[in-house]
Amino acid sequence: MLWCMRTTIRFNEQLLLQAKKLAADRGITLTVLLEGALRETINRRKPVARRSKLRLTTAGRGSTKPRVDLDDTAALLDLMEARDGAD
């Protein structure tokens, strides 16, 4: 058995008048029209795919070298360029 509930919804006056006219033109009640529109909207939603956790690959023990500040991009770039020249 399905239970029906009453609720109060506030609509823009023009939207409500258009909905009432559409319901009358179709020979259905405003309730039936609104229930159908709500069902259609809910059924049209695409399910949200669950994302897998992102795992970042790190080298070594997973920490930075001493005195390396990852927030200082200029110093980090200098360090990387010095390392590239050492090879």
Domain extent listing, the chain: 13-44
pLDDT of residue 85: 61
pLDDT at 9 over 60: yes
What's the pLDDT band for 51 if we cut at 50, 70, 90? confident
How does pLDDT run across 16-42, given as a tens digit for each residue?
999 999 999 999 999 999 999 999 999
How does pLDDT run across 57-66, given as a tens digit for each residue?
766 666 667 7
Q: Is residue 62 exposed (0-12), middle (13-18) or buried (19+ Cβ within 10 Å)?
A: exposed
Q: Which two tokens stand for residue 48?
A: 């949200």
